Structure 1
Amino acid sequence: MTDDVEDVLPRAVALSWGVAERPQRGPKRELSIERIVDTAIQIADDEGLAAVSMSKIATTLGFTTMSLYRYVTSKDDVLLLMQDTVCAVPIPPEEEDGEWRDGLRRWTATTIDVMREHPWFPDIPIPGMPLTPNNLAVLDWGLRIMKDLPLTGPEKMSTVLLLSSFARAFGVVERDVQRSREAEGAQRRTGEAFTTALAELVTDERFPYLGPLVRSGVYTDSEGDDDQDDYAFGLERILDGVQRYVDARRTGEPIVAAVPRPEPVPYDKAVREAAKARREIEGRLREARKREREAIAKAIERRTKAVEKAEKSAKAAAKG
């Protein structure tokens, strides 16, 4: 290992590879980079990533904040090392006859597992390509699964990125929904009452395709009988696409070239103003319908009372 490596790599990356110079002298040498990172991970697991600070880490360890800077240059170093540490996942041995779809299913599920165990993981910004050893080991595992596929290096990297992005996005949604449910407790926004209320807002006029799903209860799963596994469905459709691409590579079938990203819809003030006016009109319409329902309910109540009164009078007259 040349001396130039430490100079080229960012401090945290060099630390993760063990090629950065570490402090050898100073008071209380029982402090170490490993203890700093492990403590930061525990704080994040218990209180969330926002709770992680240099002062919090130092206080937990019983040291001064300044003492930490003998080992790391900033909180960003700690975050990168936290991320790499939790990526030290058990990588299964290579199977000679392993099916690549099964391998990529397991690889993708591992990303979800990391986020379930450490919900703060996706909150750390992605600085660029993976550079730390545990991250690269996971990447190497994914590439190993695809070693026999007739794909180029960039195509394999794009496949890994696609699956990683899917797992990361799904993991964030799963985490946030779980947090919301735990915070709401008994006030969870599901059930028949919520479906009924939402159905008033999601009208067929404005949402012609979503409206029927809301009214059926599928959107909110008010009956709790939705057997659709969104994660498995999405992953299998991605793997179907990769399978189709691989098959085309093997047979020499023409492959659709990558289509450029569509141009964004231009900003139009008139469109925004029209949308605002529509929302106001819809609000007044909902209020009018509410008053109509209240008036109908009162009319029915009055009619019921009048009928009951007439029946009582008739009975009294018959007795007299």
Structure 2
Amino acid sequence: MYAVETIGLTKAFRDKRALDSLDMRVPSGEIYGLVGRNGSGKSTAMKIICGMMSSTSGEVRIQGEVMSACEASPRLGSLVETPGIYPSLPAIENMMSKALTLGTVDARHRCSDLLEMVGLEPANRRKVEQYSMGMKQRLGLALALLGDPDILLLDEPLNGLDPEGARSIRDLIVDLNRVRKVTVIISSHVLDQLERICHRYGVIKDGRMVKEITSEEMEEACRGGLLISCSEPDRALALFSEHLPKMKVSMLPDGVIRIDGDPDASAIGALLMEKGISVSDMHTAARDVEEFFVDLMRGKTVVDPTCCKGGSC
């Protein structure tokens, strides 16, 4: 059973589909990074999942339970787009307003603890309308944590934060996941921030799920290797499969052969020369993580590292 699952989730606005049969599966206890360009459907998906918006068709399941249109699961806390705050009130009063609605036990103490957790001072009577964007994001996160949710949806929670602030929020998210076992779905344009905390990624393009991939699979796809361009790639591939049985050998879509790990380039060049296969290029390369995700968001084919063992994909 998944913490969050969408099946064929579709949202149409007149003649435009913001979501187009989106299938998304978030395992319990993981941090799931939702990646996509502006307008790809990330925020729309999050709004439907947390009950802020109805879908045109499809299902949302929270811990296996099918949710009705605009139904908010009590197991889920969310920070989607602009936090729902009262600008004329200080942070503690914003927190108390929601805590009393939820029936939180020992509400003021709980609100103070959460504000301190996200780096805000409970005793500060400054109105929220005077807060910076980063401070509002912190307050929004504290509000999302009221009710001790099992699942947390965070849409661009690092917006407006300086590097130190981003790091503290990132550490808080990791702590919630590791210590309290909170499942987190987080979207961000800052890919290097996601890379530091996520267990799994979902890449959206034009409202559809392009690929769901674990952090281990992503690292494997971007890992360094030896790239070889030669006159007879099919023959060379068979040759490597025979002579390098312990190496992972694959052929990329452009006919370039990739040998992962740390192969002996001089020995490989000598083997090809001995068999009469000429080499036009041979070099080591590691794929940039950002480039990997950008290619997926553009709809480019990305070689699956789990399917190219000794053959062409």
TM-score range (shorter-chain normalised) is under 0.3
Q: Which structure's CA Rg is the greater one?
A: 1
TM-score, length-normalised on structure 1? 0.25
**Higher RCO (CA < 8 A, seq sep 6+):** 2
Task: Choose between structure 1 and 2: higher strand proportion.
Answer: 2
Task: Choose between structure 1 and 2: higher helix proportion.
Answer: 1
